[in-house]
Structure 1
Amino acid sequence: MTRHKATLIGFIAVLLWALLALFTVGTAPTPPLLLNTICFSIGGTLGLIWTARTGGFARLKQVSWKVYAFGTVGLFGYHALYFSALRLAPAAEAGLIAYLWPLLIVLLSGLLPGETLRNGHLLGALCGFAGAALIIGGGGGGFDMAALPGYLLALACALTWSGYSVISRRLGTAPTATVAVFCVATAILSGAMHLMFEQTVWPQGTGGWLSAIALGLGPVGLAFYVWDVGVKRGDIQLLGTASYAAPLLSTLVLVGVGVAEPTWMLAAATVLITGGAIIAARASLKG
């Protein structure tokens, strides 16, 4: 597989994550850890079926337990921190801090062997972050320092996913099928925590269940498999910067279905994110 093709495959995850907000709204009022359990059960089951059909279980037996522990901590840790942050801090501000992970991926990837961090990557990442800030921040009244614990958890969330993505590059020999094991383990951990800390409220009606299933099939399922291919074999710096398209595309979807209103911020963010992606792409092409 070529580096270009792997990068395009990885970008599929960004497109799928653009649907995360829409489907999550559709699953209300199901609590986050129970929703996590449902979605990762679906994603993990699909991964195991695919692994069985491709004869990948033999390779899974050869993978070190440390790799499985790493992947499980990455997926479970990110979502546990994210949901906790949004409980302890305003959603817009906490979400903005959590969405530092694309910028952190671009910066941290420069430390990887064979990768070079160029000025274009930095400028593109900063432009993309500015666009994401406009969308997620939504022109709110600023940070509430009383919610500092939530902000710190959101920062830990960003560090967890960026670290997971960059370190995954060093685990390039581990087959993508290992993600199925990560998902199953995450579902088990989420289920255990749900029983300890949450009240069980299942998705409501056909719409609620369809939204939950869609999450498990896409943003919290297939997305992790294609992202694994992208960060291990593709241009991780370009992927990190392109990830800023996720909040933009998510907003466009919400506007399209009438959940959000179009504003001048959306237009400004479009220019910043698109421009940032172009700058980063040109920097990568020069390599």
Structure 2
Amino acid sequence: MLAVVLWATNATVAAEALRSVTALQLLTLQFGAAAVTLAVLGVCGALRSREAARETWSWRANSPGWRGLAVGMVGLTGTILLQKVSFAFAPVFDANAISYGWPLLIALWGAWSLGIAKGWPHLLLSALGMTGVVMLLGVGAEGLSLGSMVGYACAVGSAVCMAFYTVAAGRLRLRTMQVLLPAAITGTVVAWIGSEVSGAPWPPMSEWLGSIYLGIGPMAAGYLLWTVASARGRPSVIAAIGYLTPFASTALLIAAGAPVTALTAVGAILILACNIGVLLLSHSESHREPETALKPSTPELQRDARH
């Protein structure tokens, strides 16, 4: 839940930050702040426990290795980069709703894994949730330009990356520092090179605060919490909690002055209804079947939860 609270502030803060920095500058600062935060947390954990240091930074036979690195690159670097690019090209309100529609994709994955006979309730809830997201977009309100279409496509890509990360984090024994820190460093380098190539002048440091917050809060802290939750919890429950993200984020955007329409209100209600429905389904499934959630209870994950 704390990760969802942090992510809910993402769009509002990013929209304000983009008034003074470019998308690439925002990404450079965000990834950089996240990398520094993750490195400091890793060093602090290593100083407190030598065993924790070995588990955090060393590679062993049971480590996900390059698979884990690939998951981190897609889940962190891909999700954030595509999301911020979508904010730069499409209306933030619309792009935010699409990029945070990733729980719908997880619900579809759950339906596919169960089969149509058992998974049809998930399919129905996914369809309703997608309808809610479309209503949040207010389709047809402003028409589509080439730039906005690029933004919407990037928002969809961001949702796909995050859905993949949530599922993969539950299947692999991910050590958060080994996965997230390289991804944050890679994002910093890529965004910085792009920013330098664009030649846009950097604003004063006093206007960097919003971008730095996005790196420390929604990115570093949010992903650390979500990685542990994805590995320790049931995917269906995690997806249900994730449904709160677009609702909370939309509510903050509205409070910050975004326009409210009847479609927005109905869309938010549909998303909440899907959230409750998935929770009820997962609760009934847990009573009918043995617990088979993809949540390896390993010392690494226990230490990540503590640190």
- What range describes the TM-score normalised by the shorter chain of this pair? 0.7 to 0.9
Question: Matches of 1:250 and 1:47 in 2, distance apart?
Answer: 24
Residue in 2 that maps onto 1:282: 280
Superposition map of 1:201-216 within 5 A: 201-202=202-203, 205=206, 208-216=207-215
Answer whether contact 1:123 1:279 (CA < 8 A) is retained. no
Scaled by the length of structure 1, the TM-score of the pair is: 0.79
- Listed one character per residue, the Cα deviations across residues 212-255 of structure 1 (whole Å, up to 9, x for unaligned) are 23212211221111111122221222322432322221222233
Distance 1:109 1:169, change over 3 A: farther
Residue in 1 that maps onto 2:266: 268
Answer whether contact 1:128 1:273 (CA < 8 A) is retained. yes
Selected match of 2:27 from 33, 36, 39: 36
Equivalences, count: 271
Residue in 2 that maps onto 1:196: 197
Answer whether contact 1:74 1:160 (CA < 8 A) is retained. yes
Paired residue type of 1:15: V
Residue in 2 that maps onto 1:246: 245
- Listed one character per residue, the Cα deviations across residues 136-183 of structure 1 (whole Å, up to 9, x for unaligned) are 336624545786555544433332222222222221x22223323322
Distance 1:86 1:266, change over 3 A: closer
Paired residue type of 1:270: A
Residue in 2 that maps onto 1:17: 7
Percent of aligned pairs with the same amino acid: 26
- Listed one character per residue, the Cα deviations across residues 6-46 of structure 1 (whole Å, up to 9, x for unaligned) are xxxxx322221110122112312211122112122222222
Question: Matches of 1:228 and 1:152 in 2, distance apart?
Answer: 26
**Which consecutive unaligned segments of at least 5 residues does structure 1 have?**
1-10
Question: Matches of 1:146 and 1:211 in 2, distance apart?
Answer: 25
Paired residue type of 1:274: L
Residue in 2 that maps onto 1:61: 58
Shift of 1:185: 2.7
Shift of 1:87: 5.1
Question: Matches of 1:150 and 1:254 in 2, distance apart?
Answer: 18
Answer whether contact 1:37 1:186 (CA < 8 A) is retained. yes
- Aligned residue for 1:286, secondary structure, equals helix
Question: Matches of 1:83 and 1:184 in 2, distance apart?
Answer: 17
Answer whether contact 2:15 2:87 (CA < 8 A) is retained. no
Paired residue type of 1:41: G
Question: Matches of 1:139 and 1:34 in 2, distance apart?
Answer: 31
Residue in 1 that maps onto 2:290: none
Question: Matches of 2:31 and 2:43 in 1, distance apart?
Answer: 18
Answer whether contact 1:92 1:136 (CA < 8 A) is retained. yes
**Which consecutive unaligned segments of at least 5 residues does structure 2 have?**
47-51, 286-307
Question: Matches of 2:279 and 2:205 in 1, distance apart?
Answer: 43
Structure of larger gyration radius:
2
Question: Matches of 2:219 and 2:182 in 1, distance apart?
Answer: 14
Scaled by the length of structure 2, the TM-score of the pair is: 0.75
Structure with the larger RCO, 1 or 2 (CA within 8 Å, 6+ apart):
1
Residue in 1 that maps onto 2:303: none
- Listed one character per residue, the Cα deviations across residues 185-204 of structure 1 (whole Å, up to 9, x for unaligned) are 32222222222235143367
State the superposition RMSD in angstroms.
3.0
Moved more, 41-50 or 80-89: 80-89
Residue in 1 that maps onto 2:163: 162
Distance 1:167 1:117, change over 3 A: farther
- Listed one character per residue, the Cα deviations across residues 263-284 of structure 1 (whole Å, up to 9, x for unaligned) are 4334323321221111110000
